[in-house]
Amino acid sequence: MLHRRVAGRLAEGYSHYNIGQRPYEMAYKSVEVLKDYLENGTAPPPAVVTGLEVCTPDMADTCGKTN
């Protein structure tokens, strides 16, 4: 979710888009990979993709928010 100040600046046109990471998914996947390694000996993958959020001015007030 965009910080209020960042969302406000985006909506005001200070940037064309903002790109954000997904910290919850990063933490969840890292624990999941570690658990799988410790319990099953499964080697971690070379990369774990958790996605990103691309926010534009027209969606600044809702970008990154989930229901």
Instruction: For residues 53 and 39, give the distance between their C-alpha atoms in angstroms, rounded to a whole number.
Output: 32
pLDDT per position as a tens digit, 21-55: 888 899 999 999 999 999 999 999 999 999 888 88
29: CB partners within 8 A, 6+ apart: 48, 50
Q: Looking at the predicted structure, is the pLDDT value of residue 5 above 80?
A: no
pLDDT over 50 at 63, yes or no: yes
How much is the pLDDT for 20? Answer: 82
